[in-house]
Structure 1
Amino acid sequence: MGEFWPVPDVLSYLAGSWRVRRTVRDLASGAEGHFTGTTVFGPPEGAEHAGLLHHESGTFTWQGVARPAERTLRFLPGAIPAAALVQFSDGRPFHDLDLTTGRHTADHPCSADLYRGEFSVFASDRWRTVWRVGGPAKDLVLTTDYARGD
C-alpha cells in the first residue's frame, strides 16, 4: 500500500479527539518553539452548518515563555467525500484538503507571504502537517503531529 494511508472520507477520519505536538522553527533567526495540546473535530453548533468544527487548545512555548493558545477552523464537505474545504473561524477560505491518496499539498497566500501545507496520513490514528511559510515577513516551518486519543 505504500507509505501513506488513503482516506475515503476525510470528515469521518478527522472526527473526534487528537493529541497534538507542534514544533515551530524560525529559519531566519534559528529560534524554535513548541505547542502541545488537543484538537477536537466535532459537529458545529446549529443544524444549518455542515462539516466539522476544529478546535485546538493547549500551550505554546516560545523563547522559554509558555502561554495558552487556541484556534478554531471549519472543515466543510468538499466535492467528494475524501475532500474538505477548510475555512478560518470567520468564514474566510484557508485551503482545500483531499486525502484520497493519504497525502495532499495546499497553498494559502497571506499578504506577501505564502503558506504551503503538506498533509500526510500514516494510519487510522496518525497524521502530520508541515507548513512552510515564506515571504518578506516570515520564514518558518511548522510541523504538527496528530495522534488519536483523548
Structure 2
Amino acid sequence: MGEFWPVPDALAYLRGSWRVSRTVRDLASGDLGRFEGTTSFGPLKGDGPPEDGGLLYQESGTFTWQGVPRPAERTLRFLPAASRGSRPGGAVDVRFADGRPFHRLDLSAGRYVADHPCSADLYRGEFTVRDEEHWRTVWRVRGPAKDLVLDTGYVRVGRPATTPGR
C-alpha cells in the first residue's frame, strides 16, 4: 500500500460518522487551540432544491482556545462535482451552508490540495486519505492578520466502511 489511499467515490467514502480532533496553531502568537468532536455526513435536507447525491457535513464539539472551552459547530454541503478533469465520483464541490462555493475536493488519488481565497487571506488545504477509516486535512491560512495551521484528523465511527473496488 502506498502513502495515500485512492478513493474512487468520495461521497460514498465520506458518508457516515467520524470522530474529529483538530489543532489550531497561531504561528504569529504561538497560541495553540484544540477542537474535539464529531462530524456526520448525511443526506442533504432543507427548504432548498434537492441536491442529487449530495451530503450534509455537520460538525459539532468543543473548541478550547487560550484555556477557554466553547461549543463549536460547522455545516457544509458536499455535492457531486461536474467533471472537470476529475475521475467520475472521485471529486465533490464543497459549499458553505448558505451555498457559496468553498473548494473542490478530489480524493481519487488519495491526496488533494485546494485553495480558497477569503478577502485578503488565502486558505490552502491538503487532504490525505490513509485508509478506509482515517483521513486528514491540513489548512494553512496566510493573510495580513492571519498566520494559522489547522490540522484535523478524522477517524470513522459507527459503521464499517465500504471497501472501494480498486
Tell me, yes or no, whether TM beats 0.5.
yes
Report the 3-state secondary structure (helix = DSSP H, G, I; strand = E; otherwise coil) of the residue aligned with 2:45. Answer: coil
Provide Cα deviations, 1:31-50, integer angstroms capped at 9, x if missing partner. 00000000000001157223
The number of aligned residues is: 150
Aligned to 2:161: none
Provide Cα deviations, 1:57-91, integer angstroms capped at 9, x if missing partner. 00000000000000000000012200000000000
Report the 3-state secondary structure (helix = DSSP H, G, I; strand = E; otherwise coil) of the residue aligned with 2:18. Answer: strand
Instruction: Tell me, in whole angstroms, the C-alpha distance in 2 between the residues paired with 1:137 and 1:30.
Output: 14
Q: TM-score, normalised by structure 2?
A: 0.88
> Structure 1 segments of 4 or more deviating over 3 A?
none
Aligned to 2:132: 124
Report the 3-state secondary structure (helix = DSSP H, G, I; strand = E; otherwise coil) of the residue aligned with 2:11. Answer: helix
Gaps in structure 2 of 5+ consecutive residues? 159-166
Q: TM-score, normalised by structure 1?
A: 0.98
Aligned to 2:112: 104
Query: CA offset at residue 124 of structure 1?
Result: 0.2
Task: In structure 2, give the amino acid aligned to 1:69.
Answer: A
**Bigger strand share:** 1
Task: In structure 1, give the amino acid aligned to 2:13.
Answer: Y
Percent identity, aligned pairs only? 71
Aligned to 1:13: 13
Instruction: Tell me, in whole angstroms, the C-alpha distance in 1 between the residues paired with 2:44 and 2:69.
Output: 29
Aligned to 2:34: 34
Provide Cα deviations, 1:82-133, integer angstroms capped at 9, x if missing partner. 0000000000000000011100000000000000000000000100000000
